[in-house]
Chain A
């Protein structure tokens, strides 16, 4: 099939969850609701997989909404990176739906938990697939409001407090984004990614364009929870219901990272020195902050939230190095990070359920939950970047890229990456030691966890293990993606075609009376 035949495909993963979300607003009985949710998540996954298959050969799919040609109307675009992210998000979405289905929560479900979850999927898919800067802002809004609604659903004191923090900080970032959209239009006269890329390439290195780029960097760094901009994260995730929390943790920060990748490879790659320096610096600090944060916490999902921050730091580090090798490593690490976070949050849900407490120090659960312990060990080693996991391969690739780049800041970042690994390992060992080892106090009962909930944890861990086994193909894909990202011409051609964009001459305004 030609790209033109598949032009509808980039829209499918967005419209499917949106439609399902609307459908789920009707008060169905629970089996119907759950069935619909599963069907929707599976369908989204199917479409996302279709996107990956369609873009695997380097094709760029583009669908123009309303039939308006590229730089003038809005387009949804799928290249390798966008399709890959869409697939990862769809996969985490399916896991989240499964987890929610296995853990009935009548009150939240009555208040449209599933519909909001699907609107969240819509926003996430839209951010990955959009080819327009302002539409990205809209996608962020959809995502933000859906996630805020999910975060406060339940109205506990903790949820309201952390939800407030969440929405205020994210609104600040959104406000900055909308201002930046205006500035970008002011400087380059367009909002379409491909057209922006084309024009910034024609301009060459330009400090005003770089300034706009840095503003975008600040926004996306806040969305991605890089250090001094990400205070909203560690409090919000633990306050969420487990299923939503797992999806938030696995995917939402990665949206910021994806946007950074898109902007600084496809759109504004001309003057990389300043953005790269900033990303390297922020990344180096963020890794350590996340790692120390994980050490400081005593509850399952609080610890894990900080490991999410740390992983974002690693990604920023990889992006900031700015070499092809590093970009490849970051793309691969993205996949590892998404899946391992989903798995760890699923494990935490089972652990909290079984021990009847959010606290880690429950002691001696190894004898009650041996399989879960195995899953946790594998994921913990992945987070700390130790073999035999995919985390080790990705971290090796990052460290090697950092050493190869060799600038003083890169070396500092490498040291910080290794140090953060060690601290993360310490945090993970404390969890292992506090929860799985030791003599279980018989005064605490051990609860039975439904098989469905355990199944999520096992499946997600199996996916993480699969990344180890198929690290070869994963890196092959990452290599191709990185190559594509470094040659934005393909993306531009896929969206704008080969003919130059023709803008009609400004009509002459009638004279004022």
Chain B
């Protein structure tokens, strides 16, 4: 299994390299990449009797994140399905793609997806499950955007990625919650009882559902699937109908064993699934583009699968697994058919096409089989799974059955609408002369259509395949079996009713269309999506303009206010101790007055010059304070620094452009006073608190060793050059660098005029013109 997952990744690198060399034949290499997945068939056929194999590759043991793969029946069944469809899609694309395609890119994306998808279904590790889940989103994004020169492709790709990434993040949180609640990241080793008891259960359940609904395009997240149809048709068949979109369904099927006991689980999934079934098929009926029709049809069928697995009982799981197989067969076949029609006529618009059965007889036969299966007509596989679906819904109640019938009747109707292109007078766009497609296109499609037929005529084949998953999905004790004719049952009556309604819908197509036009809601998921992204754009521009775009003084205000709030709260919490200060010597009072006057004066000053001079007051005040506390050397240093600073300021002002008085409105003024006052009070309190050492200071050591060890009698000097000489070295470096910076600023000419460094795009371009490619 490990090989089956990693081989496509290796081959992706090879395909990227071979693409430009082999051209379209790279497709055969791509098909070969799915060989190990197909080699899982013998393992699959041993199910459900055999014990599932477990293969573990250690990755991040500290997080319990291992690449563990567990081959239970359901996982293997799905892996083989991926292998089969992947091989067929690769082969089909060899004939489908145009000569100008970048084959290396296409096939490596496709194989990266294949590997991720195989990993997703086979992994037993929850975190790795999330990993592969998101990797399918990434590769799907690349594949949808393959023809990136079309804006619709770019839009569709981004939309698909964002919607599934939303679900992916929900899955990330869900996985973490499950691992916390269940005590393990291994799906098979989870303590389900503990998870159910834990508080994480309900949030994990809801988040899992969000993930499943986004990935499997359930209402209201179905918006991304139709626009994803911008991808090449083999991709649509592989990713967006048969495999990736079913990841959500697989998640619901597997996690149903964890969450199924909760009424919330089926209480949400079944209504959402049924609503998606009806609404999706209603929208499908209204499409004129064949691929869009199939996209909505996929949405609706996914709803059906979701509602069946969501029931979380044996009957539902059995029915869903049967339908999963049927759907994969007929839907991929139909996508291939649409690809052929597009390939041969150059359009996918139903009104432009007609009578194609003469020109494309084989394609017509394939399409007929596949769409009969989709419509649920005997003797095809779709009929059998439809009966099972009705049977299951009947057990839930008549309302459920009624909704199921409505959805199926619409399905019946759009299946016929799809077939309209083959009947009537031959019509095709001017210039196109459709003739039968090459074997490379028809054979994969025919293979799938015949499988759909086999599932109906020989129900035993579908039954055997489905039963392989019985142990994994816990429906081994389900007694039902597949058969074309069960006798006259309520389900059969419902089927007949479905045909009647469906036929009526086909017969009164014009009325239905008129009704559809009137029922079009003004707000749909797409408009919500675009409104949301637009809101994010507008909001972020607004936010950045209001913060990053502010002038420096306002930013400083925000910064200082935030700092004052945080630090102020911390200081306020600390015990307010006021150690006895005693009577201060009288000489200190004028000094204090000078300091305070300087601080208040800066706040009040309205001109740059005044501000600088008033700041000087504080400096000289501190010098006086040093003097008062018997530190004449410090006082001298301070005086020097103050004097030099003021002179430098004045010199600098000489070169600065003139500004008017500092622009301060009344609000800002009050704000400044408040912040400054807060900072002052906080600093005072903290200094008072710190006056009382909580532990003895280390300073006596310096007094002791200043002369003994440092050879100097001035302790301050010895600290500066010896005890803490490294600090001084750093500061010397700082001063040196300031000198360098000033020098280069001066020498690089008039500040403000761009010299060597380009200032904006145009200059950069001009600057680079010299290095231009010949």
Contact = CB atoms under 8 A, between A and B. Distances in A.
Interface of A: 18, 65-66, 68, 71-74, 105-108, 111-112, 115-116, 119, 122, 126, 134-135, 138-139, 141-142, 145-146, 148-149, 152-160, 164-165, 168-169, 172, 176, 179, 183, 185-190, 195, 199, 202-203, 206-215, 217-218, 222, 228-229, 231, 234-235, 241, 274, 278, 289, 292-293, 295-297, 328, 352-353, 356-359, 364, 366, 370, 381, 384, 386-388, 392-393, 395-397, 399-400, 403-404, 414, 418, 421-423, 425-426, 429, 433, 436-439, 445-448, 471-472, 475-476, 478-479, 501, 503-507
Nearest to A198: B695
B597 interface: no
Interface stretch (B154-162, B216-224, B246-254, B289-297): B154-162
B60 A422 contact: no
Chain B, interface size category, equals 35 or more
A292 B764 contact: no
A172 B555 CA distance: 12
Contacts of B540: 292-293, 295-296, 423
Interface of B: 58-63, 65, 105, 127, 130-132, 134-135, 137-138, 141, 145, 148-149, 151, 154, 158, 161-162, 165-166, 168-170, 172-173, 175-177, 179-180, 200, 533, 536-537, 539-541, 543-544, 547-548, 550, 552, 555-556, 558-563, 566-567, 569-571, 573-575, 683, 686-687, 689-691, 693-705, 709, 722-727, 730-731, 733-734, 737-738, 740-741, 743-745, 747-761, 764-765, 768, 771-773
Contact of B696 (A217, A400, A503): A503
Given A208-B575, A396-B130, A445 B773 contact: yes
Given A72-B698, A215-B570, A438 B730 contact: no
Contact of A426 (B175, B536, B761): B536
Nearest to A364: B149
Nearest to A228: B562
A165 B549 CA distance: 12
Contacts of B730: 126, 135, 138-139, 141-142
Given A159-B757, A386-B134, 8 more contacts: A146-B737, A155-B753, A214-B566, A229-B559, A292-B543, A352-B764, A386-B165, A404-B176
A348 to B, nearest CB: 13
A119 B735 CA distance: 12
B559 A296 contact: no
B697 A189 contact: yes
Contact of B700 (A159, A289, A429, A506): A506
A116 B149 CA distance: 45
Contacts of B725: 65-66
Nearest to A207: B574
Contacts of A433: 145, 154, 158
B165 A425 contact: yes
A142 B734 contact: yes
26 contacts: A68-B723, A111-B740, A116-B741, A141-B731, A142-B737, A145-B741, A152-B741, A155-B757, A157-B753, A164-B552, A165-B552, A165-B555, A186-B690, A187-B689, A187-B693, A189-B695, A190-B698, A207-B574, A211-B567, A292-B543, A295-B536, A356-B768, A387-B131, A400-B176, A436-B148, A437-B148
Contacts of B168: 386
Contacts of A397: 63
Nearest to A185: B697
A429 B773 CA distance: 29
A393 B62 CA distance: 11
B543 A289 contact: yes
A437 B566 contact: no
B727 A472 contact: no
Nearest to A111: B744
Contacts of A142: 730, 733-734, 737
A409 B647 CA distance: 51
B178 to A, nearest CB: 10
